[in-house]
Amino acid sequence: MDVVKANGAAIPVVGLGTWTLRGRECTELVEEAVAVGYRHFDTAQMYGNEAEVAEAVRRSGKRADIFITTKIQPENLAPRDVERTVKDSLSRMNLDHVDLLLIHWPNPRVALADTLGAMAKLKLAGATSHIGVSNFTVALIEEAVKVSPVPIVCNQIECHPFLDQTKVIEACAKRGIAVVAYSPIARGNAPANALLERIGKAHGKSAAQVCLRWLTQQGIVVIPRTSNKSRLKENLDISDFALSDAEMKEIAGLSRSKKRIVDWAWSPKWD
Ligand SMILES: NC(=O)c1ccc[n+]([C@@H]2O[C@H](COP(=O)([O-])OP(=O)(O)OC[C@H]3O[C@@H](n4cnc5c(N)ncnc54)[C@H](OP(=O)(O)O)[C@@H]3O)[C@@H](O)[C@H]2O)c1
């Protein structure tokens, strides 16, 4: 599988998002995903499915080839809590390390330098191969780069054609940080979009595939979620066609609708 390289990490360009997948449904879906070719899985302390994701990966016998990301909940960002809860995550997953450990959401009540310092210690101890952040704005990325003892490899952010993320994407690129797009098919809104459908028809692809390709063609990693085994392959099969410059521009024009999907009371002040 193609990878995006960033600050020493090689992140498979398509991963499976697993938010909402639980229990046996989650294990079976991840097993099927490995079988059809996925080598990257995105979980989090908050999702309550770290154990199931890891169990399916272990059963596949392909752990060494698979990239697993987990994320620390915002209330666990004090150094002692980082250490304790990541230990708990690894023990739930029955793994000695994850590939990427992220701050799930910034928490202004905890100094970023303290959290990143604790995460760097975990990296040096081998509990994670890389560290990164999620839902960071340009200002937070700049602060993180300044205070982190080890390189930040990614910023996982909401990213799809209906939201203009140019500023934060440029800030990440400047620092060699990969952008990992969450909600990359806009929570299922992209497949019904007429423009994406029309472009897809010209390439023999679905609107969802065009949407994902638009992101990966910009060097962005995508982690679409599906609970539907038959869609796993569709969301993975996006490397055998290319969008023209004109198509890329036309799709970028969809961001005029400015549709942010994920926004909470605790969100930072977005760019
Ligand atoms: N860091 C963060 O704060 C954060 C926030 C949100 C999400 N995430 C991560 O990003 C992942 C993906 O984001 P998301 O779950 O918000 O949204 P998404 O992947 O953009 O959309 C998922 C929705 O799209 C549908 N879908 C998937 N493939 C499809 C296809 N080919 N055609 C038509 N519909 C399709 C799914 O329905 P079916 O299940 O019926 O296929 C599901 O309802 C999450 O699972 C999570 O791992 C991270």
Query: What CATH number is attached to the domain comprising 95?
Result: 3.20.20.100
> 98 in helix, strand or coil?
strand
Q: How far is the CA of 80 from the centre of ligand 1 (A)?
A: 32
- pLDDT at residue 115, as a whole number: 98
Number of domains composing the chain? 1
Residue 204 lies in a domain: no
Q: Which residues of the chain have pLDDT under 50?
A: none
pLDDT at 180: 99
Q: At which residue do the structure tokens 């055998």 appear?
A: 240
Ligand 1 center–CA 226 separation, angstroms: 6
Alpha-carbon Rg for the chain in angstroms: 18
Closest CA to 225 of 93, 72, 44: 44
Cα 7–chain centre separation: 16
Within a domain: 108: yes
Instruction: Check residue 169 and give its pLDDT.
Output: 98
pLDDT in the model for residue 124: 98
50 lines ligand 1 (CB under 6 A): no
Residue 267 lies inside a defined structural domain of this protein: no
In a domain, 201, yes or no: no
SS3 17: strand
Residue 264 placed within a domain: no
Q: Ligand 1 within 6 A of 191 CB? A: yes
Residue with tokens 């975990």: 122
- Active-site residues: which are they? 47
Q: What pLDDT score does 232 carry?
A: 98
Q: Which domain holds residue 157?
A: 10-188+219-227
Mutate to test the pocket of ligand 1, among 19, 45, 100 (most ligand atoms within 8 A of CB): 19
The distance from CA 122 to its chain's CA centroid, rounded to whole angstroms, is 20
Q: Which atom of ligand 1 is nearest to the CA of 235?
A: 31
pLDDT at position 258 is: 74
Q: What is the whole-number distance in angstroms between the Cα of residue 248 and the centre of ligand 1? A: 22
Q: Nearest 5°: CA angle at 171, between 74 and 271?
A: 60
Structure tokens at 1: 């599988």
Structural domain includes residue 112: yes
pLDDT on residue 256 = 82
Residues in CB range of 118: below 8 A, 6 or more apart? 79, 80, 82, 83
* C-alpha 146 – ligand 1 centre gap (Å): 32
Nearest residue (CA) to ligand 1, atom 8:
182
Task: Express each pLDDT in 24-69 by its tens digit.
Answer: 999 999 999 999 999 999 999 999 999 999 999 999 999 999 999 9
Q: Indicate whether 102 belongs to any domain.
A: yes
Question: Ligand 1 atom closest to Cα of 182?
Answer: 10
SS3 219: coil
Please name the residue whose Cα sits nearest to atom 11 of ligand 1: 17
Task: Specify if 109 maps to a domain.
Answer: yes
Residue tagged 């993320």 (tokens): 165
Using DSSP's 3-state secondary structure scheme, residue 168 falls into: helix
**Nearest-5° angle of CA 232, CA 233, CA 235?**
70
